[in-house]
Amino acid sequence: MKLVFFGTPDFAVASLEAIIAAGHEVLAVVTAPDRPAGRGHQLKPSPVKECALAHNLKVLQPTNLKSSDFVEELRSMKAEIQVVVAFRMLPEVVWNMSPQGTYNVHGSLLPDYRGAAPIHWAVVNGEAETGVTTFKLKHEIDTGSILLQRATPIGENETTGDVYERLMKMGAQLIVESLLLIESGKAELEEQPATESKHAPKINKEDAHVDPQKSASEVHNRVRGMNPFPGAFIRVHHGDEIETWKVSDSMVTDIISNNPGQITEDGNRILLHCQDYCVELGMIQPPGKKRLSAKEFINGFRGDLSSLSCQ
């Protein structure tokens, strides 16, 4: 099929590569403008742009998706269909342009986890299962008619990064299958149920805060749900200071908590006391220091760890 592809991060690259490998004609790739990165603030292209250039594809990087110049250039390509994977919200003049419509790959089992961070919230909420969905865009975000879905379990210790990698590959396979159905005229769309669904808003800084007043499983889910990005943190009372420690992994123990918020150690492990049980904290990064294993942290800590508590 002749199509235009919209996407920006590496999650979208797998789908673009799969579409190219399946023999579809990608007329253009639309992605975010290059952004400053690194110490030198040099402009860096998105992963999707890098992929597109490697395949000698036309790249469009509009700052305004409603601009007449962009819309007319898009219209002149006469794409049969448009595909969106991890891109910002499209105006109707764009998503309603091609004869076959615009299809999106979303990292959840819709209607649950509509929004910008479906993988993060599925892990944070301790879901046992998630998946990918292809659906046809319409006005309200992530509410269009579903074409295909595929589910996958979430392990109790898996991180957002683990699930992200798996869904990225699953999404690439699913969009190729979806395009085949559409091209053959065998696509059957199903309206999403009009039921209350779980939400997946954009992750903000406070979402990464670990609250020891929650249960051990909730704390553990928060830590793995924020791994690798943006990274979970605890606020630690250290003397007269409140420090922010980043925590990149954790494990629920069978040690009963004595005092939620207390931090203790047993020689090899750092334990955070939660509402019911203790959570073992893995890699820790105190302010201004490198990431340390629990053992390294204990060996290098001056003072009594049991004097610390977090909020």
Contact indicator for 201, 159 with CB cutoff of 8 Å: no
* Omega of the bond leading into 111 within 30 degrees of 0 (cis): yes
Report the pLDDT value the prediction gives residue 263, as an integer from 0 to 100: 93
Structure tokens at 3: 């199509």
Q: 47 and 138: one domain?
A: yes
Task: Give how many domains the chain has, as a whole number.
Answer: 2
Contact indicator for 82, 99 with CB cutoff of 8 Å: no
Report the pLDDT value the prediction gives residue 143, as an integer from 0 to 100: 95
Instruction: Print the domain residue range for 130.
Output: 2-184
Residue 195 lies in a domain: no
- What's the rounded Cα separation, in Å, for the pair 248 and 197? 29
Per-block mean pLDDT, blocks of 10 residues, the chain (311 long): 98 98 98 88 94 98 97 98 97 97 98 97 98 96 96 98 98 98 97 90 96 97 97 91 93 94 90 97 92 89 81 77
Structure tokens at 302: 């001056």
pTM score, whole prediction:
0.95
Q: 245 and 176: one domain?
A: no
Q: 106 and 176: one domain?
A: yes
Residue 18 lies in a domain: yes
Residue 197 lies in a domain: no
Nearest-10 Cα torsion for 253, 254, 257, 260: 30
Structure tokens at 226: 């924020």
The CATH number covering residue 265 comes to 3.10.25.10
Cβ burial 236-245 (10 Å sphere, 16+ → b, else e): bebeeeebeb
Hey, which residues does 115 pair with through a beta bridge?
none
Contact indicator for 82, 51 with CB cutoff of 8 Å: no
